Chains A and B, each alone.
Chain A
Amino acid sequence: MWGSGKLGSSGGWFLRVLGPGGPNTKAARPLISSAVYVKNQLSWMLQIKPGVFNEYRTMWFKSYRTTFSYLNRIKSFRYPWARLYSTSQTTVDSGEVKTFLALAHKWWDEQGVYAPLHSMNDLRVPFIRDNLLKTIPNHQPGKPLFGMKILDVGCGGGLLTEPLGRLGASVIGIDPVDENIKTAQCHKSFDPVLDKRIEYRVCSLEEIVEETAETFDAVVASEVVEHVIDLETFLQCCCQVLKPSGSLFITTINKTQLSYALGIVFSEQIAGIVPKGTHTWEKFVSPETLESILESNGLSVQTVVGMLYNPFSGYWHWSENTSLNYAAHAVKSGVQEHPISAEFAFKGETEELQANACTNPAVHEELKK
Chain B
Amino acid sequence: MAARLVSRCGAVGVAAHSSPLVSCRRWSGASADTVYDVVVSGGGLVGAAMACALGYDIHFHDKKILLLEAGPKKVLEKLSETYSNRVSSISPGSATLLSSFGAWDHICNMRYRAFRRMQVWDACSEALIMFDKDNLDDMGYIVENDVIMHALTKQLEAVSDRVTVLYRSKAICYTWPCPFPMADSSPWVHITLGDGSIFQTKLLIGADGHNSGVRQAAGIQNVSWNYDQSAVVATLYLSELSDTLSSLVWSTSHEHAAQLVSMDEEKFVDAVNSAFWSDADHTDFIDTAGAMLQYAVGLLKPTKVSARQLPPSVARVDAKSRVLFPLGLGHAAEYVRPRVALIGDAAHRVHPLAGQGVNMGFGDISSLAHHLSTAAFNGKDLGSMSHLTGYETERQRHNTALLAATDLLKRLYSTSAAPLVLLRTWGLQATNAVSPLKEQIMAFASK
- Residues of chain A having any CB pair with chain B under 8 Å: 1-3, 105, 108-111, 118-119, 121-122, 125-126, 129, 140-144, 162-168, 186-187, 189-193
Contact = CB atoms under 8 A, between A and B. Distances in A.
A110 B33 contact: no
A140 to B, nearest CB: 7
Contacts of B378: 121-122, 125-126, 129, 163
Contacts of B186: 190
22 contacts: A2-B389, A105-B181, A109-B180, A110-B386, A121-B378, A125-B378, A129-B377, A129-B378, A141-B59, A142-B60, A142-B63, A142-B376, A143-B61, A143-B62, A166-B376, A167-B377, A187-B181, A189-B31, A190-B31, A190-B187, A192-B34, A192-B35
Contact of A191 (B35, B60, B376, B384): B35
A143 B376 CA distance: 10
A151 B387 CA distance: 27
A253 to B, nearest CB: 23
Contacts of B59: 141-142
Nearest to B334: A1
Interface of B: 31, 33-35, 58-63, 180-181, 183, 186-188, 202, 334, 337-338, 376-381, 384-386, 389
Given A141-B58, A141-B61, 19 more contacts: A3-B389, A105-B181, A109-B181, A110-B385, A111-B385, A121-B380, A125-B378, A142-B60, A142-B61, A142-B62, A142-B376, A143-B61, A144-B377, A166-B380, A167-B377, A167-B379, A187-B181, A190-B186, A192-B33
Contact of B385 (A2, A167, A191): A2
Contacts of B181: 105, 108-109, 187
Nearest to B31: A190
Contacts of A164: 379
B129 to A, nearest CB: 40
A121 B386 CA distance: 11
Give the 10 A-B CB pairs with smallest separation, nearest first. A142-B61, A163-B379, A142-B62, A166-B379, A108-B181, A167-B379, A141-B61, A141-B58, A143-B62, A125-B378
Contacts of B61: 140-143
A182 to B, nearest CB: 9
Contacts of A119: 386
B18 to A, nearest CB: 14
Contacts of B379: 121, 125, 129, 162-167
Contacts of A1: 334
A105 B181 CA distance: 8
* Residue from A165, A186, A191 whose CB has the most chain B CB atoms within 10 Å: A191
Contacts of A168: 62
A321 B246 CA distance: 63
B223 to A, nearest CB: 15
A152 to B, nearest CB: 13
B39 to A, nearest CB: 15
A125 B387 CA distance: 15
A53 B422 CA distance: 88
B163 to A, nearest CB: 13
A118 B380 CA distance: 10
A51 B34 CA distance: 45
B203 to A, nearest CB: 13
* Residue from A119, A163, A164 whose CB has the most chain B CB atoms within 10 Å: A163
Nearest to A128: B379
A141 B58 CA distance: 6
A197 to B, nearest CB: 11
A187 to B, nearest CB: 7
Contacts of A144: 377
Contacts of B60: 142
Contacts of B389: 2-3
Nearest to A165: B379
Nearest to B393: A3
A358 to B, nearest CB: 32
A189 B35 CA distance: 12
A110 B62 contact: no
A129 B379 CA distance: 10
Contacts of B385: 2, 110-111
B370 to A, nearest CB: 15
A42 to B, nearest CB: 20
A126 B334 CA distance: 29
A108 B376 CA distance: 18
A165 B381 CA distance: 11
B231 to A, nearest CB: 35
Contacts of B183: 105, 186
Contacts of B58: 141-142
Contacts of A167: 377, 379
A190 B35 contact: yes
Nearest to A108: B181
B271 to A, nearest CB: 49
A355 B231 CA distance: 79
Contacts of A140: 61-62
A187 B188 CA distance: 11
Nearest to A115: B386
Nearest to B382: A166
Nearest to B162: A142
Contacts of B188: 190
Contacts of B35: 190-193
Contacts of A122: 378, 386
Contacts of B338: 2
B394 to A, nearest CB: 15
Nearest to A140: B61
Nearest to B379: A163
Contacts of B202: 191
B427 to A, nearest CB: 37
Nearest to B202: A191
A10 B194 CA distance: 42
A190 B31 CA distance: 7
A110 B63 contact: no
A295 to B, nearest CB: 30
Nearest to A143: B62
A2 B380 CA distance: 18
Contacts of B377: 129, 144, 167
Contacts of A190: 31, 35, 186-188
A293 to B, nearest CB: 29
B421 to A, nearest CB: 42
A129 B59 CA distance: 13
Nearest to B177: A190
A91 to B, nearest CB: 24
B372 to A, nearest CB: 13
A110 B34 contact: no
A110 B181 CA distance: 10
A287 to B, nearest CB: 25
A1 B58 CA distance: 33
Contacts of A129: 377-379
Contacts of A2: 337-338, 385, 389
Contacts of A121: 378-380
Contacts of A141: 58-59, 61
A278 B371 CA distance: 37
A66 B386 CA distance: 40
Contacts of A143: 61-62
A2 B187 CA distance: 17
A141 B162 CA distance: 13
A192 B378 CA distance: 19
Nearest to A163: B379
